[in-house]
Structures are given as structure tokens and as C-alpha cells.
């Protein structure tokens, strides 16, 4: 037992006695799953108003998802032949994946460029990335016409000329890479020392592999729309789409890390250690500087691309005005970040990061939903049921995230492994 001591030792009341097999199992379960509480205590601790609300949302979502699988996609979505991809993919894939670049961005900074300063948030970044991809696949499963064939592009039949084929391969490979990248934290939790050592040893290789996969599929995600000139509004369609997607994914990941870092400071304080908490302001400022640079590049390239496609003539149309809203938000951000960093004002950097998330969500929503098939009249963007499903799945994602962070050393170092972090 002592091997897993950590912070819950005080709960092990019967430590001295010889343990029977069933006791060992009970303790293990208590220690690992119920955070050191008995089942009853643990169950009681779960009943909080917030959890009840979350439970209700998940129930509603689960009901709708069941409807979709038992009856039809049109039961819960506004997808149609005029709008083949709806909110599930817009949110889960086109928005979810760029934000999940967090693992690869922070991982590269720490493990390849040796920016040790970001070490405290790297495990969190990888966990968020992993979950983002996992739930992107879950959204995809809900949306696919024949989800039971999801592995077909991997084994059964290869559409090698398809960008989606590329995305399918890369997302599945990268999901495995991220699972391995996160495994040291999980193995520390399980106390599998030897295995963990092996996993830590793979870090660099996995990071390099992750960069290869990420660059390509982040770019490829928007690249899928290269096939749809004329269908995607000219203010969004450009041959630069892949590169814009890649750069903005880095921006998205940095913004997400700044925001989550702030949230963890408020809501997950007791799961974090000094090493994590004391470094956050410094880290936030560093990330803010990077974000300023990345977004500046992004907005510049974006404006060039509009000129390149000679799309400025659409600026005085409803879509043009909508474009202006998006580009204005994204356009002021580099300066806002810069200002925040100059003034060493963590708050401004955090607000800018939240705004970046809004801007990039808007951008992806526009590309995949709002400005797509813009020439067709009367498109419904989404059905309220779709929205409920999205909220429910996101709620599950947050619950899973909390479950992991509550147990595994993500925001803290495991007492037994300090200095062994690579």
C-alpha cells in the first residue's frame, strides 16, 4: 500500500493488520477509484447541485443519441443534402481538433525545444489533447452514416486520393500516440514503475511522431474544403486553407491552455501542487507572447489570402459583414496579447485567450457550416436537438477530464516520481 501513498495515506485505517485478498481489492478500489473514500462516502460526495445538472444534461443527450441510432440521423439533426455536415462535425471535428493541438504544441515546446518553463502544464496539455481527439472520434461516430464501418479506411478499402483518408489515418494514429504520451501519468497512478519508465523513454520519439501527424492533419482538416470552391464562400475559400488551419490550430491550442490554466487555478486547486500553481503566471505570460506572434502571422496570411482570391468584392454583403466580425476579433488579438505581455498583466492575456477561442470557434463554424453552401437558399443551421447532444457530449468530456485529474498526477507531480519526468 505504501508504495502508492500519495496524499491519501491518512484514510488507510487498517494499515497494520494482515490483509486478506478481498481487503486488498477493496483498498485498491477505494484508493484508486473512490479517492480514498468508502463507496458510500464517495457516492454522497458526488451529489452536488452541479453534478445533478450535469447528470440531467447527459441523460437528455443520451436519449437523443439513442434516437439517432435506433431511428435516423434526421431525427436529431438538421443535416440534409443541402447541409451534409452539421453541428456534430463542426463542433466535434472542425472545432475540437484544432483546440486539441495543445498536446503537440506544448509537448514540442518542452520536449523538443527544451523550454522547461512549460513543464508544469505539459501533462495537462497532453491530456486535453488526447480527450479532444477521443471525443472528436465520438462525435464522428454519432455523425457517420454507418459508424460500424469506422475502421474501413484503415483496413478494408483505401481512398488514397482523399484528404479525408489522410485525416482518418492521422487522427487514429495520433490518438494512439497521445494515449502513449499520457501513459506515464496513468502508470504513475497505477504504480506500474517499470512500465512507466519505458513509457517515459518513448517521450521524444512520440513527440516527433506527433508533430509529423499533427501538422498534416491539422492542415488537412480545413484542406478537405479545398474540394469545394464555389460551395464555400469566397471570403473563406482559399488555396491557403491548410496553412491557415495549421497556424490557427497553434493559436487555438495556446489560447486553450491559457484559459484552462486559469480555470484549473480556480476549480482544481486542491488537485495541483506548488510546482504547478507557482509557475502559472509566468507561463501564461510566455504563452501570451507566443499567441501574439502566431495570431499576427495568421491574420496577415488570412488577409493576403483574401486578396489572393480577389474576394474583397464580397465585403459589402451580409457574408462580408460577418467576415468582418470574425476578422476584427482575430485581428485585434495579437495586439491585445502583446499589450498584456508588455504590461505583465496576466488578466489581459487571459481575456485575450478567451476571445481567441471565440474567434477561432467562429472561424471553424463559418468554414464548416455557416459559409458552406452559401448559395443555397433557406438552410437551417442546426436543430435544437443537435445542440443538446453537443452540450451533453461536452459535459461528459468535462466529467472524464475531472475524473482523471482527480486521480492521476496531471496538475501535480507524483510524490514518488519527482525529478523523473524526463
Q: Which stretches within 90-232 are classed as H helix?
A: 96-99, 102-107, 119-143, 152-155, 163-190, 193-201, 203-223
- Residue 229: helix, strand or coil by DSSP? strand
Q: d(Cα 353, Cα 140) in Å, to the nearest integer? A: 27
Reported as half-sphere exposure (CB side, CA atoms, 13 A), residue 197 has a value of 3
Answer for which of 242, 331, 334, 340 binds another protein (CB under 8 A) is 242
Name which position in 5, 35, 226, 399 contacts another protein (CB under 8 A). 226
- Please tell me the distance from the alpha carbon of residue 100 to that of residue 257, in angstroms, as a whole number: 10
Smallest distance from another protein to CB 238, Å: 12
224 lines the binding site for another protein (CB under 8 A)? yes
Which of 14, 69, 335, 403 contacts another protein by CB under 8 A? 69
Contact 415, 6 (CB under 8 A): yes
Minimum distance from CB of 77 to another protein (Å)? Answer: 8
Q: Binding string to another protein for residues 373 to 402, with x set by CB under 8 A, is what?
A: ---x--------------------------
User: Which residues are bridge partners to 80 per DSSP?
Assistant: 83
- The nearer residue to another protein, 229 or 415, going by C-beta atoms, is 229
- Residue 152 is a binding residue for another protein (CB under 8 A): yes
Stretch in the footprint of another protein (CB under 8 A) among 45-53, 55-63, 66-74, 174-182: 66-74
Q: By CB under 8 A, what part of segment 81-100 binds another protein?
A: 81-82, 84-85
Q: Does 415 bind another protein (CB under 8 A)?
A: no
Return the range that interacts with another protein (CB under 8 A); candidates 3-11, 15-23, 73-81, 319-327. 73-81
Q: 89 vs 341, which CB is nearer to another protein?
A: 89
Q: How many Å apart are CA 52 and CA 182, to the nearest integer? A: 30
Name beta bridge partners: 229: 232
Asked if 390 contacts 90 with a C-beta cutoff of 8 angstroms, the reply is: no
Q: Decide if residue 227 touches another protein (CB under 8 A).
A: yes
Our finding on whether 308 is near another protein (CB under 8 A) is: no
Residue of 156, 194, 266, 270 interacting with another protein (CB under 8 A): 156
C-alpha 254/C-alpha 269 separation (Å) is: 21
Q: Considering only CA atoms, which of 128, 371, 162, 383 is closest in space to residue 259?
A: 128
Q: How far is the CB of 239 from another protein (least distance, A)?
A: 8
Residue 74 touching another protein (CB under 8 A)? yes
What is the grid cell recorded at 263? 480555470
Regarding 113 and contact with another protein (CB under 8 A), the answer is: yes
80 contacts another protein (rule: CB under 8 A) = yes
Looking at residues 181 to 220 of the shown chain, list those that interact with another protein (rule: CB under 8 A): 201, 204-205, 207-208, 211-212, 215-216, 219-220
Least distance (Å) between residue 198 CB and another protein: 12
Which DSSP letter does residue 117 get?
G
Q: What is the 3-state secondary structure (H, E, C) of 235-284?
A: CCCCCCHHHHHHHHHHHHHHHHHHHHHHHHHHHCHHHCCHHHHCCHHHHH
Yes or no: say if 334 and 295 are a contact pair by the CB < 8 Å rule: yes
Query: Residue 108, interface with another protein (CB under 8 A)?
Result: yes
Q: CA–CA distance from 384 to each of 91, 388, 389 (Å)?
A: 14, 6, 9
Kindly write out the interface string for residues 342-361 of this chain, putting x where it contacts another protein by CB under 8 A and - elsewhere.
Answer: --------------------
Task: Please tell me the count of residues contacting another protein according to CB under 8 A.
Answer: 64
Residues in touch with another protein (CB under 8 A):
68-74, 77, 79-82, 84-85, 108, 111-114, 144-147, 149-150, 152-153, 156-168, 201, 204-205, 207-208, 211-212, 215-216, 219-220, 223-231, 239, 242, 372, 376
Amino acid at each position: 500500500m505504501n508504495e502508492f501513498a500519495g496524499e491519501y495515506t491518512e484514510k488507510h485505517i487498517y494499515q497494520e493488520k494482515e490483509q486478506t485478498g478481498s481487503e486488498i481489492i477493496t483498498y485498491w478500489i477505494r484508493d484508486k477509484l473512490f479517492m480514498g473514500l468508502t463507496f458510500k462516502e464517495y457516492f454522497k460526495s458526488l451529489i452536488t447541485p452541479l453534478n445533478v445538472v450535469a447528470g440531467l444534461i447527459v441523460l437528455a443527450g443520451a436519449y437523443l443519441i439513442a434516437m439517432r441510432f435506433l431511428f435516423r440521423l434526421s431525427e436529431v439533426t438538421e443535416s440534409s443534402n443541402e447541409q451534409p455536415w452539421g453541428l456534430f462535425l463542426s463542433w466535434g471535428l472542425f472545432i475540437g481538433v484544432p483546440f486539441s493541438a495543445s498536446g503537440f504544441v506544448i509537448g514540442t515546446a518542452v520536449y523538443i525545444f527544451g523550454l522547461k518553463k512549460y513543464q508544469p502544464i505539459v501533462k495537462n496539455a497532453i491530456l486535453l489533447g488526447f480527450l479532444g481527439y477521443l471525443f472528436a472520434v465520438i462525435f464522428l461516430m454519432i455523425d457517420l452514416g454507418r459508424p460500424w464501418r469506422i475502421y474501413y479506411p484503415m483496413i478494408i478499402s483505401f481512398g488514397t486520393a482523399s484528404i479525408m483518408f489522410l485525416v482518418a489515418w492521422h487522427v487514429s494514429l495520433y490518438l494512439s500516440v497521445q494515449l502513449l504520451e499520457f501513459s506515464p501519468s496513468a502508470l504513475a497512478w497505477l504504480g506500474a514503475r517499470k512500465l512507466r519508465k519505458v513509457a517515459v523513454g518513448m517521450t521524444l520519439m512520440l513527440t516527433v511522431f506527433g508533430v509529423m501527424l499533427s501538422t498534416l492533419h491539422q492542415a488537412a482538416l480545413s484542406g478537405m474544403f479545398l474540394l469545394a470552391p464555389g460551395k464555400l464562400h469566397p471570403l473563406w475559400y482559399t488555396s491557403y486553407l491548410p496553412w491557415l488551419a495549421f497556424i490557427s490550430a497553434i493559436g487555438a491550442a495556446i489560447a486553450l491552455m491559457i484559459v484552462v490554466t486559469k480555470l484549473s487555478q480556480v476549480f482544481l486547486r486542491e488537485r495541483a501542487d506548488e510546482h504547478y500553481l507557482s509557475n502559472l503566471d509566468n507561463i501564461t505570460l510566455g504563452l501570451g507572447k507566443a499567441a501574439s506572434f502566431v495570431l499576427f502571422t495568421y491574420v496577415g496570411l488570412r488577409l493576403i489570402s483574401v486578396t489572393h482570391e480577389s474576394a474583397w468584392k464580397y465585403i459589402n454583403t451580409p457574408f462580408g459583414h460577418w467576415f468582418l466580425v470574425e476578422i476584427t476579433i482575430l485581428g485585434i488579438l495579437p495586439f491585445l496579447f502583446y499589450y498584456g505581455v508588455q504590461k505583465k498583466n496576466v488578466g489581459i492575456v487571459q481575456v485575450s485567450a478567451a476571445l481567441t477561442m471565440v474567434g477561432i470557434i467562429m472561424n471553424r463554424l463559418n468554414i464548416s457550416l455557416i459559409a458552406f453552401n452559401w448559395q443555397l437558399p433557406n438552410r437551417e443551421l442546426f436543430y435544437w436537438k443537435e445542440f443538446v447532444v453537443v452540450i451533453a457530449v461536452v459535459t461528459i468530456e468535462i466529467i472524464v477530464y475531472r475524473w482523471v485529474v482527480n486521480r492521476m498526477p496531471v496538475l501535480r507531480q507524483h510524490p514518488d516520481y519527482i525529478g523523473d519526468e524526463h
